[in-house]
Amino acid sequence: MSTSSHTFPLKPGSTIGVLGSGQLGRMLAVAAARLGFKTSIYADAAGPAFDVAASTTVGAYDDWDKLTAFAGTVAVVTYEFENVADATARHLARLVPVRPGPKALAVAQDRLVEKTFLAGLGITVAPFVAVASAADLAAALPCGNQRAILKTRRLGYDGKGQFAIEPATDPAAAFSAIGGTAAVLERRVMFEREVSVLICRGADGQDVIYDMPENSHRDGILRRSVVPSRLPDDVICNAHAIARRIATALDYVGLLAVELFDLGEGVPAAGRLVVNEIAPRVHNSGHWTMDACATSQFENHMRAVAGWPLGSAERHSDAIMDNLIGADALEWPALAAEAGCCLHLYGKHEARAGRKMGHVNRLSKRV
């Protein structure tokens, strides 16, 4: 039971706590400042969000004394990544409101739990089976030319913790490649494109949904999001219905991203979409909203967390968002000089390969 004495909607000047110090936390803090809020960041190491927050705490996510002290300084807590331990969220939720709630974390951070939850809602996901050992994997491997992907149940993102299964794959080697840990084996989906739904839901159940981006990945990392997507209206309506069903089942508050595979025009609209995964946080495929919408995903997330009315998700421009990965960010002088290019850098000091250093949004007249 929360002991917080704060009432909602929060007044400007209130402090919102954020778990995690990465670039998403940084952009949440900037968005909160636009609304007159302060942010306090709690993380196990300093990161880009520390540069723009009103206060910061470095502490382990199981340091209950530090977490309790942190909770006493904020009106509400949110988070910028889904691998916050469920126990951490539950501890904080006894002291202060946590939005989104711990249930969303528990579902999203375990692929087996997530897929079981989605399937239980009648939502289509790729066929899957739990794998706890190399023997399990050998028994579950598909026959013939079917291909699959072995994914760790926890801590996998940006292509990490995954191994592509081919017909000649050795089960023991594949299981060893993901660290010999509990996993899920998914049948590979043959899709035409990847898309996502970005839905922001308030505590009162009202929601707004941004236009769906079409996403391109390379090496497991999102490289580009293009808005609008090429999906027809009936498929978009189905995608919105899927997102609302998930958000309602989780009693969700904040921005939720639902990543989907579009199977293409040859499939009836009702069965054309397959949910890949959900992310209970602001999402990379929504970064274009910072410049193409009056209210970005970051601002709407903080509005929801603070109990404010949600802003419009209407898009005033078409947009192409490109991530700046590793050395891409070293081209900042040319990008800064490019007309119509909206440059966002995250303040990271080392441009390592595969590291998200920033992004650019290129806008054009809405068609």
**Half-sphere exposure for 286 (CA within 13 Å, toward CB):** 30
| Statement to judge: residues 149 and 214 lie in one domain | no
**54: helix, strand or coil:** coil
| Statement to judge: residues 265 and 168 lie in one domain | no
| Predicted confidence (pLDDT) at residue 85 exceeds the cutoff of 90 | no
pTM of the entire structure? 0.95
Q: How many structural domains are present in the chain?
A: 3
For residue 186, count CB atoms less than 10 angstroms from its CB and return exposed for 0-12, middle for 13-18, buried for 19 or more.
buried
195: which DSSP letter? E
Q: Pick the last residue of a domain from 98, 113, 136.
A: 98
For residue 274, what is the domain's CATH number? Answer: 3.30.470.20
For residue 92, count CB atoms less than 10 angstroms from its CB and return exposed for 0-12, middle for 13-18, buried for 19 or more.
buried
| Statement to judge: residues 205 and 181 lie in one domain | no
| Statement to judge: residues 134 and 208 lie in one domain | no
| Statement to judge: residues 160 and 289 lie in one domain | no
In this structure, what are the phi and psi dihedrals at residue 183, rounded to the nearest 5 degrees? -145, 175
pLDDT score at 192: 96
9 is a domain residue: no
Distant-in-sequence contacts of 358-361, Cβ < 8 A, 24+ apart: 358/323, 358/324, 358/328, 358/329, 358/332, 359/284, 359/287, 359/321, 359/322, 359/323, 359/324, 360/321, 360/322, 360/324, 360/335, 361/287, 361/288, 361/290, 361/291, 361/292, 361/319, 361/320, 361/321
Range of the domain at 311: 193-365
pLDDT digit string, tens, across residues 170-221: 889 999 999 999 999 999 999 999 999 999 999 999 999 999 999 999 988 9
Report the C-alpha gap between 69 and 305 in whole angstroms.
Answer: 20
pLDDT digit string, tens, across residues 266-290: 898 889 999 999 999 999 999 999 9
| Statement to judge: residues 147 and 228 lie in one domain | no
| Statement to judge: residues 345 and 212 lie in one domain | yes
| Statement to judge: residues 247 and 332 lie in one domain | yes
| Statement to judge: residues 131 and 88 lie in one domain | no
Report the C-alpha gap between 87 and 119 in whole angstroms.
Answer: 25
| Statement to judge: residues 182 and 208 lie in one domain | no
| Statement to judge: residues 20 and 86 lie in one domain | yes
Mean per-residue pLDDT for 254-267?
A: 96
Considering the chain, what is the average pLDDT of its residues?
94
